[in-house]
Structure formats: C-alpha cells, structure tokens
Chains A and B, each alone.
Chain A
C-alpha cells in the first residue's frame, strides 16, 4: 500500500504527518518504507534520523548532436515537448536545463545524428532507521532545476509493506509525479483562506490523477471551520485534525516526531492509517463492480 502525503503549499506540516504515520506504523510491527520525494528540500531525515547505508546517483540521458551527420532538418526541435532544442542555421543548441531525457530526439532524428549521454541530476540516499523502517530520499544536484525524473527514481525504492511518501509541496510536475499511481493521497492543510485555496487545487490534482484523497487539518482551532465547510460541500472526508499548539511547534523545531511527544499520537496515526486502508479497499471494491 502506497500513501502519499501532500499539500497545495509548503509549510503546512506535511512532513510531521508523514513521519508520524511512518513511525506509528513501524512501532506497531509493520514493515514500513518512508520515501522523501521533496527532492528540492528534503527534511524527513531530520525526524527519522536514518542510518544511511547506500548512495545511488541518478542520471538522465541528454542529447549530443553530431554535426557531421546532422542536416539541420529541425525534426528534433519540432518533436521535443520540452522546448529543449533549437535548430538555427547550421547549429543545434541543446538547452540542458529543459531536457527531460525522454529520448524522443534520438528516436526521431532521420540522420542518426543524436547520441544520448548520461547527465547526473541527483543522488538517492538509502538506509534504515529503527527495526523494519526503510528510508530513502533524493537530493537534487545543485543547479538542476528538473526534479520529476529524480522523484520517479526515489519512488522506485519502495520495498513492499507500507510505503509512506512525503510529496513536494504544490501541484506542479514534481508533485504530480509523486502522487500519480499511488493508492491514496492524504492532503494536509490549514484552516485559513490561503489553506483552502491551495487545498482546492490539490484536490483537483488528485481527481485528475484518479487517486482517492482525504484531508488532514493541521493547526486546527475551535471555530475555524472553513475547511470543514468546503469538505462537506465537496464530499470530502476530514480524517484527522492536529490542533494548533505551542508544544507541537516546539517539538517540530527540535526535530522531535509527534509520536515521541505523546503515545496518544501513535494511536491517532494508526487510526488514521486504518481509515485510509478502509477507504482504499472500498474504493477498490467499487471499481471492481463497474
């Protein structure tokens, strides 16, 4: 079972939730893998404190043009969906920072003038924390603005059992790559108009990807019910609320997971997981009937 924890914007407490759930399930004897796909700003390791045992570089294949063979027909530039190639007169310019390494130019070049050469885009670090808890995160190479291929590589590190994935914030490519093809997406938000605005975008994303979702309200306060209203109107389920608390904020700033703060959080996160599992199963059954 693969659960992504995502949010429409940064700083909502997504990592707190993902870490909390992973540790609570591990403490209960489950085999858990925690994948930090927030490759631009990974911070799950601060709380999980894994023992890193392995590094793996991630490459994409970028084109190199053989000008002896090229007749400057422009085909490669035409088919590149990422605008990474420019054919101008007697030269072909490769914009490396835009190339996604799809290999299309190599495939379509009628003259066989495109060679693909590997370019390092980042590193994956893997290790274990406590008994039964695997950990992996990706670290983007400095100056590489392109994270989706690295996200995909981190996602491959799942290891059976339960996989909890910390997604990059937002609803653009890296988040989409993280959430797609997972079993469930837990959306973390705050009970403010800004929180709602970003949540609505994130909900749209999960619907477009056909991934069932549920909501977790962080920094919840008595009477701040903007998210509750939205969820009721849109037939969404609020699965858990974490109150606004100085104690929780303090623990976060010291890198202490919620489950270490109070045993009750372990219970709450396991209940959250049970609810998610039920939703996933009923969703599966529904789909079978169709």
Chain B
C-alpha cells in the first residue's frame, strides 16, 4: 500500500501541510514507514481554481492508495472518490508523526468534504492554519 502525506517540504521531519491542494509536495511511504518517493505538487503554485483536483490527479498517477492531509474541499473530495483513494484528515506535527498517527489508527477517515470551496489562491492570512 502506498500512503501519501501532504507536506510543506521534501523531508519527513518537516511539518505536514493541512491544505491538500496547496501543499508543496507529497511524501509517499509504505506501511513500514519507508520513504518511497517525493512528489512535487505542481498545483500548489497554479493560480487556477481546482488545485485540489489537480493534486488528486497527481496522486492517482503515482498510484497512491491513501492520502493523509488536513482539509479537503468538495471538488477535491469528488476527485478522491472518483479515483478510489482513501483520505484521512487530522495531520499535525511533522510528516513522520502524522504517518505514525495514521498507522496507529488515530486519524479520521473522511467521507465528505470538510472545507468550503474557494476560488483560486487564498491569501495566506485568510487560509488559516
């Protein structure tokens, strides 16, 4: 199984990113916590709407089964369901810590979007953390 964590940077010691569509990269692990791959998230820098969809497309292309993140909007949620991925929310602390929480069964599976739709890039201060 391939587990992706939305991250602020390319190392497992870096803080996990709450925003699925705007994270800098995804770190992909196996269930033994081995880092398999670092995927750059091209959607993060794009100004267009639907960054979440693009991020999910990237995950599908890299054959990810489960994604750990914070907030998922309605369009991205549709994309996740279409792609047959599972999503768990509640990442906190570093990427490695988030992965551990998931493996211990502490993260919540998400069945419906938990973030409102927003148009394009949200200014930092309004995005919240």
Contact = CB atoms under 8 A, between A and B. Distances in A.
A89 B84 contact: yes
A93 B54 contact: no
A84 interface: yes
Given A74-B61, A172-B120, A91 B53 contact: no
Given A98-B75, A172-B119, A88 B51 contact: no
Given A93-B78, A95-B75, A172-B120, A86 B49 contact: no
11 contacts: A74-B61, A83-B46, A83-B51, A83-B53, A84-B53, A86-B82, A88-B79, A89-B83, A98-B50, A98-B53, A172-B119
Contacts of B84: 88-89
Contact of A88 (B60, B75, B119): B60
B20 to A, nearest CB: 13
Contact of A91 (B48, B54, B75, B82): B82
B50 A84 contact: yes
Contacts of A98: 49-50, 53, 75
B120 A83 contact: no
Instruction: Determine which residue in A84, A87, A88, A172 has the highest number of CB atoms from chain B within 10 A of its CB, and name it.
Output: A88
A77 interface: yes
A86 B56 contact: yes
Q: How large is the interface on B (under 10, 10 to 19, 20 to 34, 35 or more residues)?
A: 20 to 34
Interface string B16-56: 00000000000000000000000000010010111101101
A172 B49 CA distance: 12
Contacts of B49: 82-83, 98
B86 interface: no
Contacts of A91: 82
B48 A83 contact: yes
B119 A83 contact: no
A83 B50 contact: yes
B97 interface: no
A82 B83 CA distance: 19
A172 B122 CA distance: 12
Contacts of B120: 172
Contacts of A81: 48
Contacts of B43: 83
A89 B64 CA distance: 12
Nearest to A81: B48
Nearest to B54: A83
A82 B50 contact: yes
B63 to A, nearest CB: 11
Interface in A75-129: 77, 81-84, 86-89, 91, 93, 95, 97-98
A122 B120 CA distance: 22
A95 B54 CA distance: 11
Contacts of A95: 50, 53, 75, 78
Interface string A221-237: 00000000000000000
